[in-house]
A and B are shown apart, each in its own frame.
Chain A
């Protein structure tokens, strides 16, 4: 008995596929690369994969309890369902419409920060002049490398296979690519020493940032970024781990989809820089532990269960040929992943730490890398201690009713008149607003607190609806505050901050504050001792310090001691790419950093609960 095929069409793209009845709609959309926002990976937790069934609705099973929790009765009546709860019914044709997903271009953080490190890369190229008489060319080349350049190395198999053609075509000279001063990995005809490139990539849970770098000069040539395509299988690390473990074959799906996107980014960079991918000899990877393991094709099972032990913490070098997707790089290229500190403090934190100079080792410094998981590293004369806080993606614009990523037409700054409660706001590029990005959310909440609209407990005050029309009520209770009226926006609806959004922000900022506080407590210091608080991540770059202070996200460190550094993990990956000594320093640092498990601290709950209040 074969299952009946159903023609499923997706709007607004119009794409149509034939699938057997009973197919899981969520997985189908993920496999087709159709984006539906979700934060739980199809577990019916987040209610974000809402779709409208336009045809075939009546053949569906009635909505599940979970669906009813996320959908209003009107929505159910109009045919809205959660993709994760829907199986394609046995009807001739079935039509699904995804709600508009907003603009697609994103400002994914920082191309910017110049790296001041003396280039001393792992990959170096040396030109060798060939004499006419030599007998054993391999031995001659190796001895020339030793005599003329002082590098004692051997030649690997791949290089050896390139040798005959290189000699024939190069005639008087060849160029050797030497890896880590130890191995000749490639040989090319002529003198190609000027063409030596590498890429650095920061694999974030939500986005990828890739830099193409000239290894001779250490200069960044081009930058390219895109969302992490694994988002289709869950927004956060935990849901991706669950997906990877759910079925054999899922791990390779996650690895391949990531590698394919990286390949695309590398090609992009090569086109933009006008260079051939064949000149790329090395890649350096930073990312959280889960992302690094998925990149390497290692099951993240170890991260699913307490105590979240690492399988390995050292940096790993792989040949590109060993990866299941061909990357557009030289065939002898290597990819190096930076070392890890713990299950939830990964190579991205090591990289960020590498990018932030310690001015005075004796004075305590705190580094915060704000993302879906926020890592905190506290360093002083005695070494470093690190923890990871589950801050959630609120500051990346997710889990927020009108939240969006920092991109075109997102509200990034808000101010509210405490008398009239009138709002002025700005968007990143001055366009009509379509939503609110992380810094806009922090700014809006801070202003609502200052204006007394939100109490210190995070609740909307009473009787506000008499003072302003911006407060919307349900059964007489304030439930949202409108920032931009429908006619001002680009999305045909009011843009507002809801009571639920406030709670999300409270949870996020409390997690970060608690992490900082408990680390300081471990070291026996207070905020007064902190010489500098370095804030990495896109959020830190766009937000204004005053808002952050008002909502109480960081320890009480004076504004003059708070510094934003943008994507420090990306910068650190570039540093490790162009400097072998720095790469070794990263290795030492990862080993010397102690990991502290916040959830096991008895003071966690009390600190966290109090930190949820506004100061």
Chain B
């Protein structure tokens, strides 16, 4: 038995568990994988995130249904919840890619998507402070100062609460914070992001991770 075979089998099993939406099996597979020497960041980066990425692409081409994406994301989230604390432990000042403050803005309590985004960012090697939902502007600002964050990631699903994103970004500018901003969520659009002066806009979690990496090297909008 070569390592390679073991690895292929592991990936196959994980994929199977995900497509069966079998959280319990997935979790136990991940535990086994960790036991047999897989690195947490390897499992997320090379197994879980590619599945999610594929699903995000497939939803656009209707190869999978929205329900399936939701269930799949929910399943993957269970595995990420185990892996993320381990990734967090393994990161240190030199290996961490950056510090992100994330939250659903004031007036909105939809955080399903935001939670997934937070998990994907962490799996991608960022240290994420999740402020949760219905987060007032002040809390974002305070967290930025406390965590010495590099990026604020703000989201909203509802249209009226776009105002809260606008408010947050105004405050960031008013205080001349040296911080990048990225926004997302159903109600947002690239045009809105430009209008309110966000540094980047993300279509989904993986797009967010991609844009985040670019922000960290100083590239804003495409």
Name A's B-contacting residues (CB within 8 A). Answer: 40-41, 43-45, 64-66, 238-239, 241-242, 245, 303-306, 457-459, 477, 479, 499-500, 502-503, 506-507, 510, 597, 599-600, 605-606, 608-610, 612-613
Contact between A66 and B71 (Cβ–Cβ < 8 Å)? no
With A65-B191, A238-B159, A306-B107 given, can you name 14 additional A-B contacts, CB distance below 8 Å?
A43-B159, A44-B191, A241-B159, A241-B160, A242-B162, A245-B160, A304-B160, A305-B160, A457-B68, A479-B62, A503-B66, A597-B109, A599-B110, A612-B70
Majority secondary structure, B binding face: loop
Q: Does B213 contact A (CB under 8 A)?
A: no
User: Which residues of A sit under 8 angstroms from B162, Cβ to Cβ?
Assistant: 242
Bound CA span A137–B63, Å: 82
B 163-191 to A, binary, CB cutoff 8 A, 1 in contact else 0: 11000000000000000000000010111
Bound CA span A305–B135, Å: 11
What is the distance, in angstroms, from B38's C-beta to the closest C-beta of chain A? Answer: 28
Q: Could you list some 19 contacts between A and B, CB below 8 A?
A: A43-B159, A43-B187, A65-B189, A65-B191, A238-B158, A239-B159, A245-B160, A304-B158, A305-B108, A306-B109, A306-B134, A458-B65, A458-B67, A459-B65, A477-B61, A477-B63, A500-B62, A503-B65, A609-B70
User: From residue 84 to 140 of chain B, which have CB atoms closer than 8 A to chain A?
Assistant: 106-110, 112, 133-134
Q: Number of B interface residues at 8 Å Cβ cutoff, please give it.
A: 30
Bound CA span A93–B219, Å: 42
Bound CA span A510–B108, Å: 21
User: Which residues of A sit under 8 angstroms from B64, Cβ to Cβ?
Assistant: 457, 459
Return the chain A residue nearest B67 by Cβ: A612
Of the residues A245, A457, A600, A608, contact of B163 by C-beta under 8 Å? A245
User: Which residues of B sit under 8 angstroms from A66, Cβ to Cβ?
Assistant: 189-191
User: Which residues of B sit under 8 angstroms from A600, Cβ to Cβ?
Assistant: 109
User: Which residues of B sit under 8 angstroms from A458, Cβ to Cβ?
Assistant: 65-67
Q: Does B74 contact A (CB under 8 A)?
A: yes
Bound CA span A499–B161, Å: 30
Take A64-B191, A242-B160, A605-B74 as given contacts and tell me if A506 and B62 are in contact as well, using a CB distance cutoff of 8 Å. Answer: no
Of the residues B62, B110, B112, B161, contact of A305 by C-beta under 8 Å? B161
Bound CA span A165–B158, Å: 57
Contact between A457 and B191 (Cβ–Cβ < 8 Å)? no
User: From residue 39 to 83 of chain B, which have CB atoms closer than 8 A to chain A?
Assistant: 61-68, 70-71, 74
Bound CA span A40–B192, Å: 14
User: Which residues of A sit under 8 angstroms from B160, Cβ to Cβ?
Assistant: 238, 241-242, 245, 303-305
User: Which residues of A sit under 8 angstroms from B187, Cβ to Cβ?
Assistant: 43, 45
Return the chain A residue nearest B72 by Cβ: A609
Bound CA span A368–B21, Å: 31
Take A40-B159, A44-B191, A66-B191 as given contacts and tell me if A599 and B109 are in contact as well, using a CB distance cutoff of 8 Å. Answer: yes
B62, B106, B110, B164: residue with the most chain A Cβ atoms closer than 10 Å:
B62
Contact between B65 and A612 (Cβ–Cβ < 8 Å)? yes
Task: Rank and list the top 6 A-B pairs by shortest CB-CB distance, nearest first.
Answer: A305-B107, A612-B67, A304-B160, A609-B70, A458-B65, A499-B62
Contact between A510 and B67 (Cβ–Cβ < 8 Å)? yes
User: Which residues of A sit under 8 angstroms from B70, Cβ to Cβ?
Assistant: 605, 608-609, 612
User: Which residues of B sit under 8 angstroms from A605, Cβ to Cβ?
Assistant: 70, 74, 112
What is the distance, in angstroms, from A577's C-beta to the closest C-beta of chain B? Answer: 33
Bound CA span A609–B69, Å: 9
Return the chain B residue nearest A303 by Cβ: B160
Contact between A304 and B107 (Cβ–Cβ < 8 Å)? yes
Bound CA span A239–B161, Å: 11
Bound CA span A599–B134, Å: 12
